[in-house]
C-alpha cells in the first residue's frame, strides 16, 4: 500500500528557501509571483494492507521522524 505525505511549514514560520525561489523567479522575469513556500513530499511503500492501520502507522512516523511538529504541519493520504 502506498502512502503520500505532505510536510509544510506552518504559517508564520520563515521560509528562506521559498523566499529564494520567489526572488529567483522574479530575476528570471516571472513577475506574477507573490509568494512561494516549499515543503516536502514523501511517498512511502508500506507492506501494511489495511488502510486505517496504514494511516495510523504513517501518522506516527510523521510525529516521530518525518515532520518537525513545532514548525511543520503534515498531511497523510493513504491508498493506491
Which one, 16 or 43, has the nearer CB to its own copies?
43
When binding is defined by CB under 8 A, the residue of 12, 16, 52, 65 that contacts its own copies is: 65
Whether residue 71 contacts residue 13, with contact meaning beta carbons closer than 8 Å, is answered with yes
When binding is defined by CB under 8 A, the residue of 44, 56, 59, 73 that contacts its own copies is: 44
Q: Which helix (H) or strand (E) holds 79?
A: none
What is the spatial distance between Cα 7 and Cα 9, in angstroms, rounded to a whole number? 7
Query: Grid coordinates in use for 22?
Result: 520567489
Residue 78 interacts with its own copies (CB under 8 A): yes or no: no
What is the spatial distance between Cα 8 and Cα 67, in angstroms, rounded to a whole number? 9
Residue 66 interacts with its own copies (CB under 8 A): yes or no: yes
Residue 33 interacts with its own copies (CB under 8 A): yes or no: yes
Positions touching its own copies (CB under 8 A) are 6-8, 18, 21, 24-25, 28, 30-48, 57, 60-61, 64-66
Amino acid at each position: 500500500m502506498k502512502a503520500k505525505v505532505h510536510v509544510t511549514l506552518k504559517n508564520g514560520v520563515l521560509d528562506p528557501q521559498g523566499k529564494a525561489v520567489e526572488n529567483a523567479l522574479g530575476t528570471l522575469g516571472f513577475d506574477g509571483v507573490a509568494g512561494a513556500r516549499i515543503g516536502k513530499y514523501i511517498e512511502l511503500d508500506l507492506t501494511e494492507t489495511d488502510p486505517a492501520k496504514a494511516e495510523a502507522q504513517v501518522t506516527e512516523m510523521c510525529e516521530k521522524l518525518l515532520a518537525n511538529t513545532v514548525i511543520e504541519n503534515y498531511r497523510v493520504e493513504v491508498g493506491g
